[in-house]
Structure 1
Amino acid sequence: MDTVGDRPEARYPLSALYEAARMYYVDEDNQAQIAAVMKISRPFVSRLLAEARRVGVVRIEVVNPEQHSTDDLAAALRDALGLARVYLAPGDQSARIRGGLAPQVNAALSDMSLEPGDVLLVSSGRTIYELSQGILPRLPGVVIAPTVGGQTEPEPWHQSNELARAVAERSGGVPAFLFTQALPSPEMYASLQRDPSFQRVQRLWEAAKGALVGIGSPPASRQSISRFIPIDDDSLLRSVGDICLNFFDTDGATVQFPGSERMVNTSVDVLRGIPFTVGVAVGADKVPSIASGAKAGFFRRLITDTATATAVLEHLRR
């Protein structure tokens, strides 16, 4: 007679597992009735039912009643923004980005099918910083590279090399570093174009298979922004956000400002050419940034929550 289980006490006949499960789950007999019919003890019936679930004779599905509406909302936002996919976390996750978006980040990174030697870019910013401190999937041998040069602000989310190192450490990847300022002097910028280490990072940008990038809110509304960004300049007053320090307006057009031609960052054209660029943003202040960033083609996939997704769809309807 066929049996299952890898412990002596668990080697029950498959026929017994099936019979007990059928009477309990299909015929709705109680355990005492099953024991009487099968001529076994009631505790033994309980063990049969537990073993039936363990080995797959019984499969129990727990359905989240909100999942269907979440899937519909994700599909509606995907179509409205012209994206390949939207990963939605339930509710409002703006106060718990680290844990609240972790499942969606894991799903997005899994969809990239990254292998050793592949390149994943990570941007600076508070959102990516929070994610870098949480649980990440294993990415052994994947090269993790920053998308922008260094910034002088003390907050950890401005430290692009440290963010790349943190993501690599938590995922098992290999960090690559960019040893220059995000906005160098004209002399330093000219020197960088001949620097082998900078050229290597540029090649990593161009070869990247994926990118995980935060979507910045309008510059004038931020409490923390790099001091070299002239937020009072007339050009930036019309900016609704940035991705990797590429600022853009409501129509998704790039916003230039004094010094932006020397910015050390992953360019708009490179971002558009990466196969799996995933934008991450939650919160009401990110709504116009998400809508315009998607219009500009800065990302093809989006991680957000249902509260933000609803607000973006309302914004688009208006």
Structure 2
Amino acid sequence: MDNLALMRDRLAVTPEGPRFSPQLLYRAAKLYYVQDATQAEIADQLGTSRATVSRLLSEARRLGIVKIEVVEPVEDDVSTLAAQTAEALGLSAVHLSTMGSSTPGALGPAVATALSRIGLDPGDVLIVSSGRTVFEVAQADLPALPGVQVTPTVGGQDDPNAWYQTNEITRMVAAKIGGTPTFLYAPALPGPDLHQLLLADPSIRRVTRLWENARCALLGVGAPPATRSSIPAFVPIGAVASAVGDVCNHFFDRDGNDVPFPGGDRLIATSVELLRRIPASIAVAAGEVKVPAIAAGARAGYFNQLVTDVPTAKALVAAATTAASETA
């Protein structure tokens, strides 16, 4: 468009002054806010003065063609909220993501921070669970932890979803941190005869020994079974209807008590007793639906650190405050 056409496009003089066309307002705003052109450069391109460009930009903001958001820094508030959440749940540390939990991998940076602060050395053992959130975290940028041994917390599950494939998650985490993976070649819930054979198998015993010496765990926290689109196929949903969530396929109620299911005694997984003994056990979970599970899991001592997002942390603090007032 030549300058004469631009002038025609712009002009419609009213008692309030010149009325600029939306197309001209959009072009000026795009040049300034998207393409980083100066007002002088825009004036040259549009064949007008800098004063007119300034009016164009002001008018674009007034009409909503340009929307400017001023966000107050939240670092101090996030730190305070993390401390409040840790105190409310009785945890040693809470790491918060400021990204929404609906963003894939949103908790990854906070997980990286948590792992970095633990200070894992070569030869230390990191165990990882299955679950959608842990699967997404395994694809994020994690700190370099060369020589750390990584192994699953639970056997494989007959489910097509990638987040149930514990060996694959282990491989991904090990690759991200530069660690050494040790895989668990066993189903999560074998039959009675196979269960006994697996417990005596050298490859399985190698993994169980790693569990016993784990210095760190990265654990997903499952939502209440009734709210989930899928749970492990070997778990009868009716048997765990009272559960608010699970960790490593160990289901628990609102008070953190075990909710057993048929065959659960054959589960090839890290025991809850062992989870309680791990020095740094990090739960990775977010979403309002998981608030009861996170609170109950923390109460039961299944983990001592938490990675979550800001809305979930606020909901956890609010829930803890309400519970305290009801018991006062």
TM-score (norm 2): 0.75
> Residue 72 of structure 1 aligns with which residue?
80
The correspondence of residues 1-318 of structure 1 with structure 2, limited to 5 A, is 65-90=73-98, 93-98=100-105, 100-233=106-239, 236-318=240-322
> What letter is aligned with 1:277?
S
Asked if 2 retains the 8 angstrom alpha-carbon contact of 1:252 and 1:295, the reply is yes
Q: Please say if residues 112 and 209 of structure 1, whose CA atoms lie closer than 8 Å, have aligned partners that are also in contact.
A: no
Distance 2:233 2:223 in 1: 16
Q: Are the equivalent residues in 1 in contact too, given 2:192–2:266 (CA < 8 A)? A: yes
Q: Which amino acid aligns with 2:188?
A: A
The more displaced of 102-111 and 272-281 is 102-111
Aligned AA (1:95): S
The residue type equivalent to 1:94 in the other structure is S
Matched AA of 2:217: A
Name the CA distance, whole Å, in 1 between partners of 2:177 and 2:123.
14
How far apart, CA to CA, are the structure 1 residues paired with 2:253 and 2:183?
30
Q: Over the residues paired in the alignment, what is the CA RMSD in angstroms?
A: 1.3
Counterpart-to-counterpart distance in 1, 2:90 and 2:203: 37
Q: Aligned equivalents of 1:148 and 1:249: distance in 2?
A: 20
- Separation in 2, partners of 1:72, 1:191: 51
CA contact (8 A) 1:84 1:300 kept: yes
- The aligned counterpart of 1:48 is none
Query: Could you tell me how far apart the structure 1 residues matched to 2:104 and 2:81 are?
Result: 20
Contact 1:105 1:303 in 2 (8 A): yes
* Structure 1 residue 289: Cα displacement: 0.6
What residue identity is the alignment partner of 1:240? V
Work out the number of aligned pairs and report it: 252
Q: Distance in 2 between matches of 1:237 and 1:146?
A: 26
Kindly state the Cα deviation for residue 290 of structure 1 after the two structures are TM-superposed: 0.5
Q: Report the secondary structure of 1:211's partner residue.
A: strand
Q: Percent identity?
A: 49
The amino acid across from 2:246 in the alignment is D
Any idea what the Cα deviations from partners look like across 1:174-202, whole Å, max 9, x if unmatched?
11100110000000111112111111100
AA matched with 1:152: D
Deviation at 1:87, TM superposition (A): 0.4
**Aligned partners of 1:266 and 1:251: how far apart in 2?**
20
How much has 1:314 moved relative to structure 2? 1.8
Structure 1 residue ranges without an equivalent (≥5):
1-63
Q: Which range moves more in the overlay, 236-245 or 102-111? A: 102-111
**How many Å apart are 1:316 and its aligned residue?**
2.0
Tell whether the 8 Å contact from 1:144 to 1:174 is kept in structure 2 after alignment. yes
Q: Which amino acid aligns with 1:158?
A: Y
* Distance (whole Å) between structure 2 residues aligned to residue 114 and residue 75 of structure 1: 23
* Structure 2, unaligned runs of 5 or more: 1-71, 323-328
1:38 — aligned with what?
A: none
CA distance in 2, matches of 1:114, 1:66: 30
Q: By how many angstroms is 1:317 displaced?
A: 2.6
Give structure 1 regions of 4+ aligned residues with deviation exceeding 4 angstroms: none
Distance apart, 1:133 and its partner CA: 1.2
Query: Displacement of 1:97 after TM fit?
Result: 4.0
Distance 1:97 1:276 in 2: 24
Q: Distance in 1 between matches of 2:75 and 2:104?
A: 20
SS at match of 1:78: helix
Q: Output the amino acid matched with 2:93.
A: R
Cα distance in 2, alignment partners of residues 251 and 293 from structure 1? 8
